[in-house]
């Protein structure tokens, strides 16, 4: 049995390319997150001078900075950009950490939450609720307003649980079977979305586009309140498994001998990822490549030590999604580009470059 927090000698050589005490990556990630956050609050149709924004933030903290925001600027920041910033940060962090955790669990650097059917299952649930909105409104009354995010959340959990169940072999979850089941569920759910899209009206098609391409335009304080609990819970559940994932680098049998209940670990990680990703898709739609690209980039610098990789993924994931959102609402202003399409467009060449360099290791 290995003491809590210790790393077996057999895997120390595989953990990390940085010295254990190296602090500069964390400083870079925190400065990047702070800079992107300030830019997200300042840039937009209503411009806010950086000095005025910093002065207002310092004034909120009790300092007399001497800079006042105009009423319109204050209203835009408080009621539009700040909830958008918080929701985007939480979603980006959750997607990146989910990708890093699942890559470690399956010991495969190209695994991300979408491969388990989570995202496509959520899309199928949301599109079903959109197409049958009139029926739901008749039977649910005022509650039909929450039918779309609720259906997306149920679809995500249902698809993930089905993939896990189909992946069971002789009472144990076989990771290869789970991935294959997820691919099959993705194909089936995608076919369902296509059929429903075919019978949708023009107004419904615009709503379906939101779920397929993703956007933070619907962010509000109410959305943040609803999404915060499952997103934070998913993050905490994933981050606390970092040490167990390190032991899993030895292999499932060896990790079992070192005190890790591998089957329970699989269930906890898959359900935590489904919980968080389902909540994120329910609020902002499908956003691809964050869970795949962020851990791959960080692994080049920090190595595969999950005690550092998961936390760093949360910071970089939040920064990346907020930067993509800033680009999405600035590049074609006053129109807004779909953020999911933008992350995929930016992520594809970056990931191809990583593969071409041949430096991806687990």
> What's the whole-number mean pLDDT along residues 323-331?
88
Q: Is the pLDDT score of 205 beyond 50?
A: yes
Q: Is the pLDDT score of 317 beyond 90?
A: yes
Question: How large a percentage of the chain has pLDDT more than 70?
Answer: 84
Would you give the DSSP letter of residue 7? Answer: -
Report pLDDT for 8.
46
> Higher-confidence residue: 55 or 338?
338
> Minimum mean pLDDT among 30-39, 92-101, 206-215, 261-270: which range?
206-215
Report pLDDT for 12.
43
Q: How confident is the model at residue 68 (pLDDT cuts 50, 70, 90)?
A: low
Report pLDDT for 34.
92
Q: How confident is the model at residue 318 (pLDDT cuts 50, 70, 90)?
A: very high
From the CA atom positions of the chain, what is the Rg in Å? Answer: 21
Range of 64-73, 220-229, 306-315, 345-354 with top mean pLDDT:
306-315
> What's the whole-number mean pLDDT along residues 262-275?
88
Question: How large a percentage of the chain has pLDDT more than 90?
Answer: 23
Report pLDDT for 358.
59
Report pLDDT for 49.
76
Cβ-contact 31, 58 below 8 angstroms? no
Report pLDDT for 10.
43
Report pLDDT for 29.
93
Identify the CA nearest to 156 among candidates 28, 56, 284, 58: 284
Tell me how far apart the 2 most distant CA atoms of the chain are, in Å: 68
pLDDT tens profile 117-146:
888 898 888 888 888 875 655 455 545 566
Q: Is the pLDDT score of 16 beyond 50?
A: no
Q: Is the pLDDT score of 259 beyond 90?
A: no
> What's the whole-number mean pLDDT along residues 311-317?
95
Report pLDDT for 253.
85
Report pLDDT for 170.
67
Cβ-contact 248, 255 below 8 angstroms? yes
pTM of the predicted model as reported, rounded to 2 decimal places: 0.85
Report pLDDT for 137.
55
Q: Is the pLDDT score of 362 beyond 50?
A: no
Using H for helix, E for strand and C for coil, what is the string for 144-202?
Answer: HHHHHHHHHHHHHHHHHHHHHHHCEECCEECHHHHHHHHHHHHHHHHHHHHHHHHHCCH
| Three-class secondary structure of residue 360 per DSSP | coil
Please, what sign has the CA dihedral across residues 85, 91, 96, 100?
positive
Report pLDDT for 134.
57
**What's the rounded Cα separation, in Å, for the pair 244 and 257?**
12
Report pLDDT for 132.
82
> Minimum mean pLDDT among 42-51, 98-107, 134-143, 309-318: which range?
134-143
Range of 28-42, 107-121, 126-140, 279-293 with top mean pLDDT:
28-42
Report the chain's mean pLDDT, rounded to a whole number: 81
Phi, psi of 170 (to 5 degrees): 50, 45
Range of 53-57, 91-95, 133-137 with top mean pLDDT:
91-95
What string of DSSP letters covers 97-124? HHHHHHHHHHT-TT--GGGGTHHHHHHH
Q: Is the pLDDT score of 65 beyond 60?
A: no
Within 8 A by CB and 6+ apart from 124, the residues are 155, 159, 189, 192, 193, 196
Domains of the chain: 47-357 (1.10.3470.10)
Report pLDDT for 64.
56
| Three-class secondary structure of residue 280 per DSSP | helix
> Minimum mean pLDDT among 43-57, 263-277, 290-304, 329-343: which range?
43-57
Consecutive H or E run containing 48: none
């Amino acid at each position: 049995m290995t003491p809590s927090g210790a790393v077996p000698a057999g895997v120390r050589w595989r953990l990390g390319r940085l010295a254990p005490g190296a602090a500069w990556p964390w400083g870079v990630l925190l400065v990047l997150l702070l800079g992107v956050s300030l830019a997200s609050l300042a840039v937009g149709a209503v411009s806010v001078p950086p000095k005025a924004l910093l002065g207002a933030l310092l004034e909120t903290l009790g300092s007399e900075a001497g800079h006042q925001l105009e009423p319109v600027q204050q209203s835009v920041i408080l009621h539009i950009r700040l909830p958008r910033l918080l929701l985007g940060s939480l979603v980006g962090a959750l997607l990146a950490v989910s990708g890093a955790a699942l890559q470690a669990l399956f010991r495969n650097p190209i695994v991300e939450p979408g491969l388990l059917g989570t995202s496509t299952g959520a899309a199928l649930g949301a599109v079903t609720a959109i197409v049958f909105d009139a029926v739901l409104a008749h039977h649910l009354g005022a509650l039909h307003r929450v039918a779309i995010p609720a259906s997306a959340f149920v679809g995500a959990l249902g698809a993930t649980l089905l993939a896990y169940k189909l992946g069971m072999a002789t009472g144990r979850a076989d990771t290869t079977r789970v991935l294959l089941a997820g691919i099959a569920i993705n194909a089936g759910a995608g076919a369902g979305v296509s059929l429903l899209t075919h019978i949708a009206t023009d107004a419904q098609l615009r709503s379906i586009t939101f779920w397929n391409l993703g956007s933070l335009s619907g962010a509000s304080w109410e959305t943040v309140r609803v999404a915060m609990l499952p997103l934070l819970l998913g993050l905490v559940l994933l981050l606390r498994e970092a040490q167990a994932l390190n032991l899993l680098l030895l292999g499932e049998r060896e990790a079992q001998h070192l005190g890790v209940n591998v089957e329970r670990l699989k269930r906890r990680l898959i359900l935590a990822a489904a919980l968080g990703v389902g909540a994120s898709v329910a609020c902002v739609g499908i956003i691809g490549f964050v869970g795949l690209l962020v851990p791959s980039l960080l692994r080049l610098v920090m190595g595969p030590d999950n005690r550092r990789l998961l936390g760093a993924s949360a910071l970089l994931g939040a920064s990346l999604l907020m930067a993509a959102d800033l680009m999405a609402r600035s590049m074609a202003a006053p129109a807004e580009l779909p953020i999911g399409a933008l992350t995929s467009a930016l992520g594809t060449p970056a990931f191809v470059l990583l593969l071409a360099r041949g430096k991806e290791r687990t």
